Structure 1
Amino acid sequence: MRPAVAPTGVVLVGADETPAGCTVVDHAAIEAELRGWDLRILHAQQGRTLSSSRDAGARLLRGLTDRVHAGSSSVAVNCRLVVGSAASLLLAEARATDLLVVGSRRSATSAALGLSVADRLAGSHEGVILVVRIPDHPPESGFGQRPVVAGVEQRGVLTPAARFALLEAQLRGCELVLVSAHHGPAPVDRTETVDGVVVRHRTEDADPVAALTDFSQRAAALVVGRRAFGGHPVTMLGSVSRAVIQRAACPVFLV
């Protein structure tokens, strides 16, 4: 059985000319294929662009389109070449799409400032965003058999993040691990089946960031909630979600 998803939708991905950009597009294509949605690839060029730059951008988008179709001929791909700030353009475009996918490469400068394109988008975009950690992916073989892991504050409470994680596990045909991390005595772990998905409830006597980062080493994807709203883009992310997108060893969904 295929889980119920919106019959039509758009996955938007920001792509660049680096090899890591291909990895980000790969993950976006996977999500589009799982849902039966269209894939929109946006490539932003900074400042004034020469005709040679535009030609290079067009070649990049054609190559990425061919790459997607080599993996799945069923995914409809459309591309846009734009000029300006990647973060601002992606944010504006994402308002009319259903899932935003970006890569996260933290240079020494961005780490010192505590801000990257992924940070800005994660803090500003109101919809679901998938942050693909680079260069941690692609991992070794067996990636497809890994579970989806979601962080939950209260054990047994099906939060929006947990509901999204359940749907993602249904689409992928894998297990779901719900992790509640806090210091103190932990109740006994349990396993149940929900809507055809094997759900493992785990409670860890640990800091949430440390626990989720550890689970990310063995996960296909990590799902966390976005807790803070308003103010500066950095503060719009909760402390756990912001730390996880910087440290996780797998792609991270912010819901």
Structure 2
Amino acid sequence: MHGVVVGVSGSPEADVALDWALAEAASRAVPLTAVMAWTGPRGVQPHEYQDLLERQREDLLTLLDTAVRRTGLADVEAAAQVAEGDPPEALLAAAQDVDLLVLGRRRRGRLGRLVLGSVSSEVVERAEVPVTVVRADGAGPTDDDEADGTRVVVGVDTSGSSMLALQHGAEVAARTGGVLEAVFAWQITTLAPLPGSWGWAPPLDEYESFAADRLDEAIEAAGITLPPEQLVRNLVHKSPAAALIEASTAAGRVVVGARGLGGFDRLLLGSVSRQVLEYAACPVTVVR
């Protein structure tokens, strides 16, 4: 089933996510479903419960109509769904087999961390479809000199998950006319020893050349066919999380695989992925 599903709650961060999801659905030319998870009160009469449920539906329709007017995206086929039950389960059930699930989170704390709550964390970890987390503030490029809302940054290594992230990022770049920036973060500890270098440390430029070859191999293995002007290779001598967070300041979105190997050592939610989700300056998509 094609489409975009977005979690809606009426909070400011959920409103930003709803606007972003409407634009994404318009870009993909697919339907949007706004889902509000609701757990009704216990001990009420059936007719009272139905009245409360109907009010939730009316509130959700109002939020959706307001977002459509706010964004001017009236051509998007949009539907509202109140899902009864536990929020993570409701969102995961509604997002089965869709193209993308969108969640909103806000910045908290002086360090600008995007702290994932229990619902968001569980959904991102368990979802079988790509999940994009949109922050309510700084939900886009922050570098005024190089900002590009269509630039797609992808964390690359040699894992299968990374291949999926590259393919997802390439599809976005091709659809939006943006640039795909393939970021391969490397450190000596993740590349050593180089072939034929047992017992000695080669110069850094040899490590960088080896990393460049790995990046080219990953791009080829992923079947990326973007024209040269839409594909940027970025070799970064630093940790994967730091490289992606830095690149996010001039990007429209960052895409990471749920798991990784090689240059992105153990890319698991809770390590690199979680750091990128917490600190990136733009929306982050986790792909499986």
Give the TM bin, normalised by the shorter chain.
0.7 to 0.9
The Cα shift of 1:13 comes to 0.5
Q: Comparing both chains, which one has the higher relative contact order based on Cα–Cα distances under 8 Å and sequence gaps of 6 or more?
A: 2
C-alpha separation in 2, matches of 1:158 and 1:89: 28
Does the residue aligned with 2:230 lie in a helix, a strand or coil?
strand
Is 1:28 paired with 2:32?
no
| Structure with more of its chain in helix, by fraction | 2
Q: Find the counterpart in structure 2 of residue 39 from structure 1.
A: 32
Q: Find the counterpart in structure 1 of residue 61 from structure 2.
A: 61
Q: Find the counterpart in structure 2 of residue 132 from structure 1.
A: 134
Question: Residue 180 of structure 1 aligns to which amino acid in structure 2?
Answer: F
Contact 2:40–2:53 (CA under 8 A) maintained in structure 1 = no
Contact 2:64–2:80 (CA under 8 A) maintained in structure 1 = no
The Cα shift of 1:67 comes to 2.2
TM-score by length of 1: 0.79
Map 1:1-255 onto structure 2 (within 5 A): 9-48=2-41, 51=51, 54-55=54-55, 57-68=57-68, 70-105=71-106, 116-137=118-139, 145-154=149-158, 159-184=163-188, 185=204, 186-187=208-209, 194-196=225-227, 198-227=230-259, 237=269, 239-255=271-287
Name the % identity: 29
Question: Residue 55 of structure 2 aligns to which amino acid in structure 1?
Answer: D
| Structure with more of its chain in strand, by fraction | 1
Does the residue aligned with 1:227 lie in a helix, a strand or coil?
coil
C-alpha separation in 2, matches of 1:114 and 1:101: 13
The Cα shift of 1:244 comes to 1.2
Q: What stretches of structure 2 of length at least 5 have no aligned partner?
A: 43-48, 189-203, 261-266
Contact 1:226–1:238 (CA under 8 A) maintained in structure 2 = no
Cα gap change, 1:216/1:139 in structure 2, threshold over 3 Å: closer, same or farther? closer
Cα gap change, 1:48/1:236 in structure 2, threshold over 3 Å: closer, same or farther? farther
Cα gap change, 1:151/1:107 in structure 2, threshold over 3 Å: closer, same or farther? same
Q: For 1:83-122, what per-residue CA distance to the aligned partner results, in whole angstroms no more than 9, with x for missing partners?
A: 33221100111114221111124768xx9x9752221111
Cα gap change, 1:120/1:10 in structure 2, threshold over 3 Å: closer, same or farther? same
TM-score by length of 2: 0.71
Contact 1:58–1:81 (CA under 8 A) maintained in structure 2 = no
| Structure of greater Rg | 2
Q: What stretches of structure 1 of length at least 5 have no aligned partner?
A: 1-7, 229-234
Contact 2:105–2:133 (CA under 8 A) maintained in structure 1 = yes
